[in-house]
Amino acid sequence: MKRATVTLPWVKLTAIIALSAGYVSCQKSDDSSEADSHKNVDTTPQPTYQEWPIFRGDAELQGISQEDLAYPLDLAWSYEPPVEDGRRRLPIDATPVISDGTIYVGNQEGTIYALALDTGELRWQFQAEAGISGPAALHGDRVFLGDTGGVFYGLNAKDGSEAWRFEVEGKIEGGVNILESDDGKVRVFFGSHDYYLYCLDAGTGEMLWKHETDNYIMATPSIVNSGGQQAVTFGGCDGMFHIVPADGEGESRSIEVGSYIANSSSVRDGIAYVAHNGGEVLAVDIATGETVWQVQTGYEYTGSPAVGEKRLFVPCPEKKLTAYDRVTGEVVWEFSGRRAFDSSPVLTPSTIWQAGTDGYLYAIDPADGSELWTWQLGTKVQASPAISRGMMIICGQDGVVYAFREAE
């Protein structure tokens, strides 16, 4: 199949995407501040706190946190969901999301938990019809997520009560993305095993439009938010990378990559970065549909990339995290762990955090790929870290939620 080069009739985006991280500066007092002739002036750098309301932290799924957690970290608390005698606690594959001091995450048993970020105290739980494998998303007072029985939920974030539900004809294994545009509409996007990408009204759950593909959609869709473009991009098990106008109108585009894409792409400056099961990493220009660069690796990727200003960080099942030059695709460095990296990394100003199936959490220097610090969790990790308000949250295949903070 040839790459299409149809120009999309983009609508200019002027509103702030609701899921972009909201930053809150917290001022520290400093008794040693220098004084001027009238008052003491605090010269201490201001820490930056943010929410983590979506998989990968923001709607473009870049995997970046502005909070610079300093290693070493200490385990602040862990939450072990109750389990009946004689039964095994089911894994947590979904990455947690965080807003207003509350963590939201579901497990394979179909239970969605809301936990206090600072203590791990259970605030409420909701039982879905089937297991949860994809991350939720937050907007306003709502939590959105789907289950493997094909039910998509809009829950009230305060108490977990069900506001509405929408049923599809296949599993929902990927996560959710949200777009708030200048027409006042809030749209929710997710894919399903029934071959469709869905767009719902966030307030009512009414379907606004759906886009058909040729196979399962397992990835969390990403939102293009650059150059005045509004688009939803995602890979499918049909071996295509799809670009769909966010309002459902106008021409869509499908770019053939030759193998199924089960993970999510990251978008920055109008370029989508894709690592797919066919053993290839590539950069695609959203506006033209042209491939900027591609690298053949032979690895079957399951984790999603993190993309910084200059580098792209890609985890792979061959126990490697590789840093690429974002512009040229050249390999800058490779880090080797003990086992596969199925989890997606998170980039902070001074550290890149990567969890592995070896049960370790790694702190890696993004400049040269050297190992800075590790913590042995003792369980495989499929979900990605989430960072908010000085805390890092990781969920394990043992079904436990772990919370870390900077060591005293």
Start-to-end CA span in the chain (Å): 57
Q: How far from the centroid of its chain's Cα atoms is residue 87's Cα?
A: 30
Least confident window among 207-216, 278-287, 322-331: 278-287
Compute CA distances 46 → 34, 35, 40, 309, 407, whole Å.
16, 18, 16, 22, 19
Tokens of 399: 């079904």
Question: Is 248 a residue whose pLDDT tops 80?
Answer: yes
Query: Domain count of the chain?
Result: 1
**Per-residue pLDDT averaged across 14-29, rounded?**
36
Query: What band does 49 get if pLDDT is binned at 50, 70 and 90?
Result: confident
Question: Is 264 a residue whose pLDDT tops 50?
Answer: yes
Closest listed residue to residue 97, CA positions, set 184, 178, 25: 178
Query: What band does 26 get if pLDDT is binned at 50, 70 and 90?
Result: very low
User: Is residue 205 domain-resident?
Assistant: yes
Give the single-character DSSP code of 350.
S
Could you give the angle at the alpha carbon of 398 between the alpha carbons of 371 and 313, nearest 5°? 35
Compute CA distances 324 → 90, 150, 315, 327, whole Å.
36, 37, 11, 9
Closest listed residue to residue 243, CA positions, set 272, 214, 207: 272
User: Is residue 287 domain-resident?
Assistant: yes
Cα–Cα dist 8/244, whole Å: 9
Beta sheet of 391-395, edge-to-edge order: 73-79, 401-406, 391-395, 386-388
User: Is residue 29 domain-resident?
Assistant: no
For residue 166, the tally of other CB atoms under 10 A from its CB is 21
- 111: containing domain: 45-406
- Given a contact cutoff of 8 angstroms between Cβ atoms, the answer to whether 345 and 351 are in contact is no
The per-residue pLDDT for range 118-143, each reduced to its tens digit, is 999 999 999 999 999 999 999 999 99
The sign of the CA dihedral 117, 110, 19, 238 is positive
User: Is residue 170 domain-resident?
Assistant: yes
User: Is residue 19 domain-resident?
Assistant: no
Closest listed residue to residue 249, CA positions, set 9, 5, 33, 18: 9
The per-residue pLDDT for range 280-315, each reduced to its tens digit, is 999 999 888 889 999 999 999 999 999 999 999 999
User: Is residue 10 domain-resident?
Assistant: no
User: Is residue 185 domain-resident?
Assistant: yes
- The reported pTM is 0.87
User: Is residue 39 domain-resident?
Assistant: no
In CATH, what number is assigned to the domain containing residue 95? 2.130.10.10
Q: Any alpha helices (H) in 253-383, and if so which ranges?
A: none
The per-residue pLDDT for range 57-108, each reduced to its tens digit, is 999 999 999 999 989 999 999 999 998 888 889 999 999 999 999 999 999 9
| 257 Cβ neighbours under 8 A, 6+ residues apart | 235, 239, 240, 241, 274, 276, 278, 280, 282
Question: Is 227 a residue whose pLDDT tops 80?
Answer: no
